[in-house]
Amino acid sequence: MIDNKYTILIVDDNIDTVELLRKRLKAEGYNTKEAYDGEEALQRVYESPPDIIILDVMMPKLDGYEVCKRLKSDEKTKFIPIIMLTAKSDVESKVKGLDIGADDYVPKPFDYRELSARIRSLLIKKETAEKIIEEERTESIRKLIDSLSHEIRNPIVSIAGFAKKVYDSLPAGDPNKPYLMTILQESERLEKLLREILTLKMIAIGFLENVNVVKIIEEILEEFSKELEEKSIEIETDFQDSSLIIYIDKEHLKIVLRNIIKNSIEAMEKTDKKLLRISIKKTENDLLIQISDTGRGIPKEIIKKIFDPFFTSKIYGPGLGLTIALTIVQYYRGFISVESEIGKGSSFIIRIPIKEK
């Protein structure tokens, strides 16, 4: 069954027709937008692409044929289903509309039940096509990551294994030992980066479900409990709603929180005051998770760079942790902002649109 929270753009210069369709479609649970000529229709589409367009043919400025032609020739909009709606019922007009890319054609006067059925049919086709494309892309990414990981890991294992064997065979004080130790350390770093690259596969393959945010945060803190205790880091939490639910992949959320908390812990290694604060709250449309530390702080000139792949500084070592965190949050159409002051600490604010199902 189709989720009716789709947006349908109604394009017709007849106000009565637009109003009739708007009321009927809203009654079925659809969101609607309206345009009364061809130019306005194009503007509406490019401002915020709808899921389907009901397009009248005979209109001022640009007729429906021209609007359809432009949309179907644009890579950004060509997959939006278009139903041509017109008083012309002759075969030639219908063929013309279908030839320029219209997905369906309904002559006026129309039976709304028929139009509604055609809308549902096109949305089902759109859903199916998008799912197939997403599955194919996911499989391609998975295969690529698996292949690269295999090809990279084998040389790393060989280099580290032989370097360790030579290192152990040399007597204490041998001048070559420091070089071999560097090889071992760099091999370990490459292995760590490889694990982070494999984490990217988690982004491509997700399972959406209702997730209790507080419970996930508590699970992540438990993972770090030993390290937090050893480094004498205090924890302070402020959860506005302990039952807050968000529709997301649980592992995606864990990766984001784990990577940011890990960086906060690293930033406090050489500071006297060690306090990790985590707060969550819900706005009208968004989930806000704030993770703050009393670390060394990040200079303004490098704040924007910390999300770049493999960026390194005196505060954060090279890696993909923050890059992956940002990629996941952006995948859910959210963003991460950072506030920091040298000598006082940093605060990461994760904002994710709330979607519950």
Pair (185, 301) in one structural domain: no
The domain total for the chain is: 3
Give the pLDDT of residue 352.
92
> What's the per-residue H, E or C state across the chain?
CCCCCCEEEEECCCHHHHHHHHHHHHHCCCEEEEECCHHHHHHHHHHCCCCEEEEECCCCCCCHHHHHHHHHCCCCCCCCCEEEEECCCCHHHHHHHHHCCCCEEEECCCCHHHHHHHHHHHHHHHHHHHHHHHHHHHHHHHHHHHHHHHHHHHHHHHHHHHHHHHHHHCCCCCCCHHHHHHHHHHHHHHHHHHHHHHHHHHHHCCCEEEEEHHHHHHHHHHHCHHHHHHCCCEEEEEECCCCCEEEEEHHHHHHHHHHHHHHHHHHCCCCCCCEEEEEEEECCCEEEEEEECCCCCCCHHHHCCCCCCCCCCCCCCCCCHHHHHHHHHHHCCCEEEEEEECCCEEEEEEEEECCCC
Would you say residue 151 lies in a domain? Answer: yes
Pair (349, 213) in one structural domain: yes
Pair (249, 300) in one structural domain: yes
Would you say residue 123 lies in a domain? Answer: no
Tokens of 71: 């949309």
How far is residue 242 CA from its own chain's centroid? 25
Instruction: Tell me if 330 sits within 8 A of 322, measured CB to CB.
Output: no
Give the pLDDT of residue 191.
81
Residue of 277, 271, 266, 274 whose CA lies nearest to 315: 266
How far is residue 272 CA from its own chain's centroid? 37
Would you say residue 119 lies in a domain? Answer: no
Give the pLDDT of residue 221.
95
Angle at alpha carbon of residue 231, lines to 226 and 234, rounded to 5°: 85
Would you say residue 2 lies in a domain? Answer: no
Q: Name residues whose C-beta falls within 8 Å of residue 94's C-beta, 6 or more positions apart in sequence.
A: 84, 88, 105, 107
Would you say residue 121 lies in a domain? Answer: no
We report the CATH number of the domain holding residue 62 as 3.40.50.2300
Angle at alpha carbon of residue 51, lines to 101 and 53, rounded to 5°: 50
Please give the C-alpha separations between residue 238 and each of 217, 295, 320, in angstroms, as whole numbers.
Answer: 11, 19, 28
Would you say residue 36 lies in a domain? Answer: yes
Give the pLDDT of residue 241.
81
Pair (80, 93) in one structural domain: yes
Pair (26, 91) in one structural domain: yes
We report the CATH number of the domain holding residue 155 as 1.10.287
Would you say residue 170 lies in a domain? Answer: yes
Pair (333, 224) in one structural domain: yes
Give the pLDDT of residue 216.
95
Q: Is the bond leading into 109 cis (omega within 30 degrees of zero)?
A: yes
Tokens of 325: 């965190």
Pair (346, 219) in one structural domain: yes
Residue pLDDT tens, the chain, 357 long: 445 578 999 999 889 999 999 999 999 989 999 999 989 999 999 988 899 999 998 888 888 889 999 999 988 888 899 998 877 666 676 777 777 888 888 888 888 899 999 999 999 888 888 778 777 776 776 777 777 777 788 888 899 999 999 999 999 889 999 999 999 988 887 887 777 666 666 666 667 889 999 999 999 999 999 999 999 999 999 997 888 888 898 888 998 999 899 989 988 988 888 999 999 998 888 899 999 999 988 888 888 788 776 565 544 444 567 888 888 898 888 999 999 999 899 999 999 988 655
Q: Taken in order 158, 159, 163, 164, is the CA torsion positive or negative?
A: negative
Give the pLDDT of residue 200.
63
Pair (334, 214) in one structural domain: yes
Tokens of 33: 């937008």
Pair (151, 255) in one structural domain: no
Pair (160, 212) in one structural domain: no
Domain extent at residue 100: 7-110
Single residue among 204, 227, 248 that ends a domain in this structure: 204
Would you say residue 72 lies in a domain? Answer: yes
Single residue among 204, 228, 246 that ends a domain in this structure: 204
Pair (247, 342) in one structural domain: yes
Backbone angles phi, psi at 32, to 5 degrees: -130, 155
Please give the C-alpha separations between residue 131 and each of 69, 104, 137, 209, in angstroms, as whole numbers.
Answer: 26, 21, 10, 17
Single residue among 187, 204, 221 that ends a domain in this structure: 204
We report the CATH number of the domain holding residue 263 as 3.30.565.10
Pair (154, 213) in one structural domain: no
